């Protein structure tokens, strides 16, 4: 789908790039020639991922420890990256925290914890990098990983849901405000893609996954490669005129839940025959 080395000499930062979808995107972009910087709290996890990806692709992957909740730490990390690589071309705001719970069971600290990682962490990084780009008169691309419930809302993941909604709004707002500086900003809204981080926290047993798959029109979960390809497209110049968009990649899941008559899926051929006969009568 992509020409080799389309990201050659481009430096792209991925928050939460040592695990799950962040790691898969790091591997894809690295295989297309990018110079990747992965940041998160667990430096040992980052180092291992960086070594493994580098070995596979032959391109540089730099692990840097960072808690995206701390603005000052982000500005320091950005200085380090600029010193080493000269400039930054792209950012994927991918890091997140989440768990399922009835909202009334949550402590206020639990609520803060998720909002601080997902919303504050994303606007922290976006603001720090945006200021730098604008000051240096450089252009760049930001990709925010949200969820389908950023638009629809969802019970039982409310701190995550309101934070992702904020990130989606940030995407739309800044794509307009910073378009004049040559900064593009888009979002991906994934449906379920199995990762250790998400599955451990959101799928207490296999019956949850089965229920989820059953309501997805394509009757399967997403493959990491599918999401990584979309991310590569949205960061590349192939999508140069796409700005302020959110692309859903969920096998049709959210629409299936939204359409008024989609529940008729459960009817058998015999039941349809009976309905038809009844209507004719
Ligand atoms: C209720 C919980 C909880 C849970 C923690 N808390 N886990 N409350 N249910 N399962 C509460 C704690 O009791 C505490 O409040 C507060 O939250 C902070 O907890 P800590 O463990 O101190 O936080 P911290 O060490 O900062 O870890 C953050 C974390 C952790 C979010 C809790 O799970 C984490 O590091 N997650 C990162 C990875 C992740 O979540 N990945 C999934 C992304 S999937 P008190 O009041 O007791 O002190 C996703 C979209 C999926 O986002 C969509 C699928 C379709
Ligand atoms: P994951 O592997 O748990 O990824 C979350 C990452 O965030 C981890 O690498 C974690 O690293 C990092 N992180 C958490 N708090 C951080 C902080 N304060 N500072 C820096 N990094 C932090 O989960 P995933 O499933 O791949 O999720 C990746 C993204 O996709 C998230 O935005 C998620 O909301 C979104 N998403 C996933 C799914 C899915 O089905 N998997 C569906 C919809 C949306 P450390 O612990 O080392 O900090």
Cα dihedral 225, 231, 234, 237 in deg (nearest 10): -80
Per-domain residue ranges of the chain = 11-280
pLDDT cut 90: percent of the chain above it? 98
**Distance set, CA 192 to CA 79, 147, 172, 196, 203 (Å):** 35, 9, 23, 12, 11
Residue nearest to ligand 1 atom 44, measured at CA: 198
- Ligand 1 center–CA 219 separation, angstroms: 29
Domain 11-280 grouped into CATH 3.40.50.720:
yes
- CB 92 near ligand 2, within 6 Å: no
Q: Which ligand is nearest to the CA of 188?
A: 2
pLDDT tens, 91-144?
A: 999 999 999 999 999 999 999 999 999 999 999 999 999 999 999 999 999 999
149 classed as catalytic: yes
- CB 6 near ligand 2, within 6 Å: no
pLDDT tens, 18-33?
A: 999 999 999 999 999 9
What token pair was written down for 59?
């391109």
- Ligand 2 center–CA 132 separation, angstroms: 25
Those residues whose C-beta lies under 8 Å from the C-beta of residue 43, and which sit 6 or more positions away, are: 63, 65
What token pair was written down for 246?
């959110």
**pLDDT-based confidence at 75, cuts 50/70/90?**
very high
Write down the pLDDT at residue 116: 98
pLDDT of 40 strictly over 90 = yes
Q: Which ligand is nearest to the CA of 145?
A: 2
Cut 0.85: pTM above it? yes
Those residues whose C-beta lies under 8 Å from the C-beta of residue 240, and which sit 6 or more positions away, are: 184
Q: Is 251 left (phi over 0), alpha (psi -120 to 50) or beta?
A: left
**CA end-to-end span of the chain:** 54
41 in Cβ contact with 12 (< 8 Å)? no
**pLDDT-based confidence at 1, cuts 50/70/90?**
confident
Burial of residue 53 (CB within 10 Å: 0-12, 13-18, 19+) is: buried
Write down the pLDDT at residue 103: 98
pLDDT tens, 209-252?
A: 999 999 999 999 999 999 999 999 999 999 999 999 999 999 99
Residue nearest to ligand 1 atom 2, measured at CA: 110
């Amino acid at each position: 789908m992509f020409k080799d080395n389309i990201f050659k000499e481009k430096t792209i930062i991925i928050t939460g790039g040592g695990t799950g979808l962040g790691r898969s995107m790091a591997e894809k972009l690295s295989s297309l020639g990018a110079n990747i910087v992965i940041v998160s709290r667990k430096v040992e996890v980052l180092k291992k991922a960086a070594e493994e990806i580098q070995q596979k692709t032959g391109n540089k992957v730099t692990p840097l420890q960072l808690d995206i909740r701390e603005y000052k730490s982000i500005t320091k990390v950005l200085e380090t990256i600029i010193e080493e690589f000269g400039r930054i071309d792209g950012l994927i705001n991918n890091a997140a925290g989440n768990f399922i719970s009835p909202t009334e069971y949550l402590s206020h600290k639990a609520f803060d914890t998720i909002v601080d990682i997902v919303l504050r962490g994303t606007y922290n990084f976006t603001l720090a990098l945006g200021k730098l780009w604008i000051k240096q008169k450089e252009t760049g691309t930001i990709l925010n990983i949200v969820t389908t419930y950023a638009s629809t809302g969802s019970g039982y993941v409310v701190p995550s849901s309101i934070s992702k909604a904020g990130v989606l709004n940030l995407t739309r707002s800044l794509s307009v405000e910073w378009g004049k500086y040559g900064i593009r900003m888009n979002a991906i809204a994934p449906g379920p893609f199995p990762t250790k981080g998400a599955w451990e926290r959101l799928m207490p047993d296999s019956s949850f996954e089965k229920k989820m798959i059953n309501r997805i029109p394509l009757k399967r979960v997403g493959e990491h490669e599918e999401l990584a390809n979309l991310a590569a497209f949205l960061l590349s110049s192939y999508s140069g005129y796409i700005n302020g968009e959110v692309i859903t990649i969920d096998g049709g899941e959210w629409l299936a839940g939204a359409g008024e008559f989609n529940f008729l899926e459960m009817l058998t051929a015999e039941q349809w025959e009976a309905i038809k006969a009844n209507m004719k009568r």
